[in-house]
Every structure is written in structure tokens, then in C-alpha cells.
Amino acid sequence: MAIAEQGTISIHTENIFPIIKKWLYSDHEIFLRELISNGVDAIQKLKMVSFSGEFSGEVGEPEIVLSIDKDKKQISITDNGIGMTADEVKKYINQVAFSSAEEFVQKYQSSNDQNIIGHFGLGFYSSFMVAKQVDIETLSYQDGAEAVHWSCDGGTAFTLESSDKAERGTTITLTLQDEELEYLEPERLKTLVKTYCDFLPVAIKLDGEQINKQKAPWKESPSNLSKEEYLEFYQYLYPFQEEPLLWVHLNTDYPFIVNGILYFPKIKPDIDVTKGQIKLFCNQVFVSDNCEEVIPQFLMPLRGVIDSSDIPLNVSRSFLQADRTVRQIANHIAKKVGDRLKELYRDSYEEYVRSWQDLGTFVKFGSINDDKFKKQVEDILIFRSSVDLGEAQPAESEDAWSDSKGGNYTTIKAYLERNKARHENKVYYCTDEVNQATYVDLLQKQGIEVLYMDAFIDTHFVPFLEREYSDVKFSRVDADLDETLIDKDQAAEIVDPKTNQTRSEGIKQLFESALKKPKVTIRTEALKSDNPQGSPPAMVLVPESARRMQEMMAMMQQQVAQFPEEHTLLVNTAHPLIQNLISISQGSIVQGDGRSPSAELATQICEYVYDLALMAQKGFDAEGMKSFSERSNQVLTRLTEFAAR
């Protein structure tokens, strides 16, 4: 019986169709993703009816074929899937937002293969964003089915009539609008397929060439993938990037479905930890580069793929709707990442240590922002130590070494246990190995262990550690001196009969007079040293609380933290240079103008000593370096004058 029929698309208002055409998707190029996805759905449905025994014919090799006719300004998308009858076309095409995928899945919900993409029944209408006319030629798999042709020019009117299509499946032909002719270019279509449909399980062909990879590695069992295949996939997703540190393969089907591969990249100091590069897929169809709702914030720097049909999307599949399932998936991903890190720590500790400079950023950021994750990883938080923990372990302190595992890395717990006899509940740490080397060396020579906390996140992580270890004080090496560094035997100093002052008092007065900096506190101490000349003549100390306040204010104002004007200059009275300063300042030579070159030299040396101490804390700017060079030349010139007498 011939089919000839005309009708009206069933919508509630005449105004909704233009809105769907223009505003359903943010990018017009999405139309190809939607139509190819519909074709894949049709192929998956044919498999399901074949498995159920409702179809006994030959399924054939599934494929989606793209065709271009530049003369007619047309592109066609053809699948060899389940096809549609006239009644199905009227039901699923003419009624907007009536999704055949939803109904089909319910009917065949007992099938093991329910990898159906569509959910909204709107994807087909994305074709009208680029086409001035859309034609459908379709033939159902059902015995005795008659092929039909459906046509619509973008209005609410359509035509439905018989077709001479002889092969099972559906062809959708778009006659493009004049402003959308870019889609007639083969390279443009190839790019879109690679972006959105590269990993669909059906071959997509253009001009006889398959243009999609088809295989989705994240859908494979981890045991089926080699290291080389994981790395190859990473390079495919992120060309010209360094190899990742490690990866986590997600494969969960209860209580929700989520698959994926997440890679830990090497972290650069200027990385934006709030910007993600994880690609979101739904049933192997690319959805978005935005995974903020699915991936916990601290894992945003990860790279890779997340694929889940349980993530609720809005109709454009461009944004996620925050709901309970999404939060559960986010928690699950965080747990799997934590499990993978613990596994690496347990089974490949050396690799864990080698990767720690990058991994530590994730672990620390996650610990700060996620309590559950913090509890997972709190025992694998490690820090580089200034001592070699691989040396022989004293029998009386075995517990202090139990979680250090040798090398130069340790946990806070092990550090506190090792050092409780020397400085109980105190952690000395260094944030700049180069500029703070003098301070670290001074502590090391007195047997005090220092932890390096020099990652860019550690400025925020140290206060977090103090909250976790509420009875422990964390002190940067330049914040204060441990009492064990001070030589108490030199406390009983000789009083200078000329000034009636102790040596320390005289040195303090000399520096205060020379520097004339009211915000710089002068402190004099005799530092222990086997070689006084090898110890620093002076050190700049910045109180922990003052420095942190300065850093916090700078962070709030999005500025670089400035060196605090208020600080302490600790002068080492045990150093020969400092001891000789008193004698130089009291020199008896007086020039005709009443000036004492000895006193002037002492003043210049005080300034020079302060400059050197300051350089260990901060670099000079151009003007500061110029002034330092001038003062250095003046000191050297004056010293040569004295030596020449």
C-alpha cells in the first residue's frame, strides 16, 4: 500500500520550534555529534533486537557513512541500524522531545548491552541549526516494512511518503544554509568527528576512509592494556606533552557506571589548579572539557577521560547538573585516586619518591580541601629531609624510622619521633634551599634535622599542618634560633674599661648607630661553631607570625609578598669579623677635619655585613644591587688604604 500523508509536527506552541533551532546548542557544529550518535543508537538497537531473537536477519558490519554533495550543498549521514517505520517516524520525529532511546531501553532493559546514547529526543532537531531542509530516508528491520521519506524545511509542516530505499537503516540529508557551507569541507567534518565521535564503537567513514579511532581504551579492562598503550593514548589526547607520572584506570558499574583513565601530569609552578583538562564523555560521545562538578577541585590538574551514562546532563549535554549522583561519582573518583597513591607508596616507594615533587601538589591540595581524601593519604605525606635517613638506625629509636623507608624523605610523624629529645613538638622547615642554605647549614652542624617544604603550595600547607598537629610548632629556619645553637659559655663577657660596656652591648650600639633603621632590631648572640670563621657573621631573622601575615596580605591583594620591614639582625659575636669591629671603631687615628677613618670604616663594615645577611633572605632589585656594589667598593677601598699604611 502506497503511503502519502501530510500533517503538522506536534508541539505546544508555534514559538518553541525556532527557539530549539537557534538556542538548543551553544555551537552549531554539535549537529554532527547528535546525528552520528543517533546513528550509533540505531545500530546498537539492532544488536539488541537481534540478541532478543526478534530479528534473525544478517546484522552486517556496523558503520556510519558521511557523504558530501557540494553542488547540492548537502551532507548525508547514513547508518545501517534498526531503521524506522512510518508510525515510528511520526512518533519519534514529529513529536518534539519524545525520546525513542528512553522507551527502547525500558523495553529491552534485561539486555546486557544497553549502551544507548540518546535521552532527550531533541538531538535530531539540532540539524535545523545548519540546514534549511532536512530529509530522512529510512527502512525498518521489521519483516515487510516499507521504506519512508520524511521532509521538513524548518517550519512546523512536514511531508511523509513512500521511499524507494532498499537497504535497512536511515539516511539523514541536510541541505545547508548558505552561511553554514563550511560543513561541506571534508577536513571540517573529519575534525568534528575526531573531536566528538572519535571513540564511538562504530566505524565512521568519509569517502571510503574510516575517520574515527573506534576503540575507547577506558572501556577496556586494565589488564588488557600495556604501559605503551596507556602512554600512546595520553599522547593522542595531549600531543607534545611530557610523559605522565602515573595513571588511574576507573571501571565501576555499581552503584553507578563510570569509566575513565586519569593521568597525573608533571606540574609546572604556574599551573592554574582551578582549570581542568579532563574530557567528559557520555557513552563514548565527547561532551565537554569541563568536569568541575564531577572531578573534585583538587584533582582538576589531572588529565584524561571520564565517561559515565549516569551523569545527568541538560539537553545540550554541555553542562552538568549538580545532584547526589554527581557528588557520589566525585567522591568515588577521589577515593580511587587515593587508593592508587597508597598502592604506589606501598609497592613502588622509590617511584613514589621520584614523582613526589609533582604528586605532592595533588596530595597536599587534596588534603586541604577534602577531609575524606586527607584521611586516606595522611600516612603517605612525605617531606625531603636534610639528613640521610638511610644510615644505620639506632636500636632505641626504631619507631622513629619505621615509616621513613630510607633515603631523604620522611613523614611528619617520624620526624617528630626522631627529634623529640632535642626539640619536642617543633618542626624546622626550609622553603628556599638556595637562599636559606646558611640557616640550614647552621642547624645541620648542630645535629638539627630540617624538612624542605619548598613546593609552591607549601605556603598554604604549613598552616594546615599546624591545625592537624595542634601541639606542634612549625618554624622556618630563618624565623628564630634554637637554643642549642647559642654558646652560653660566652655569656660572661669582659667589660670594656673604655666604654664600661660588654662586648655585646658595644656591638649592638655600633650596628644601631651605623644602620639607623628603627624597624630593624639588633640582637647579639654567640653562635656555636667548630670553625667561627665558617659561621655567618650575621643573620636576618623574620618572626614566623609576621612573615605569614605579610604573605597572607599579599595573597589577598594578589601581589608578590614583600620582605617585612620589621625584622631582626642577629649579629654573631663569636665571629672574628664582628669581634674586630669594636677595635676598628675605637681606632685612634683622627684626620684634620675631626673625622675618624676607623669609625667610618666600622660603619661601612656594619652596613656591608647587613647587606650580606639580607642577601641570604631576598634578592636586590636593580637599584639595590647598584647601591650594594657601590658600598662594597667603598669598603674594599678603605680596607686597602688601611693595609697600605
Distance of CA 272 to the CA centre of its chain: 7
Taking a C-beta distance cutoff of 8 angstroms, is the pair 607, 578 a contact?
no
pLDDT for 398: 46
- What mean pLDDT is predicted for residues 145-174? 93
> pLDDT-based confidence at 59, cuts 50/70/90?
confident
Dihedral in degrees, nearest 10, Cα atoms 427, 431, 436, 441: 40
Distance CA(367)–CA(468), nearest Å, equals: 11
Q: What is the DSSP string of 17-36?
A: HHHHHHHS-SSTTHHHHHHH
pLDDT, tens digit (0-9, with 9 covering 90-100), for 280-306: 898 899 988 877 778 888 888 899 999
Q: Is the pLDDT of residue 194 over 80?
A: yes
pLDDT for 288: 83
Query: Given the DSSP bridges, would you call strands 277-282 and 303-307 parallel, antiparallel or unpaired?
Result: parallel
- The b/e string for 457-480 (b: 16+ C-beta within 10 A; e otherwise) is bbbebbebbeeeeeebebbbbbbb
Q: Is the pLDDT of residue 28 over 50?
A: yes
Q: What mean pLDDT is reported for the chain?
A: 82
- What mean pLDDT is predicted for residues 38-64? 88
pLDDT for 397: 46
Distance CA(386)–CA(287), nearest Å, equals: 48
pLDDT for 19: 61
Radius of gyration of the chain (CA): 37
Q: Is the pLDDT of residue 606 over 80?
A: yes
Taking a C-beta distance cutoff of 8 angstroms, is the pair 287, 323 a contact?
no
Q: Compute the C-alpha angle 249/254/260, nearest 5°.
A: 20
Report percent pLDDT > 70 for the chain.
81
Q: Is 267 helix (H, G, I), strand (E, B) or coil?
A: coil
Distance CA(77)–CA(90), nearest Å, equals: 20
List, in order of start, the domains of the chain with CATH numbers: 4-210 (3.30.565.10), 217-344 (3.30.230.80), 382-484 (3.40.50.11260), 488-542+561-644 (1.20.120.790)
Phi-psi sector, 358: left (phi>0), alpha (psi -120 to 50), beta:
alpha
Alpha carbons within 13 A on the beta-carbon side of 93: 31
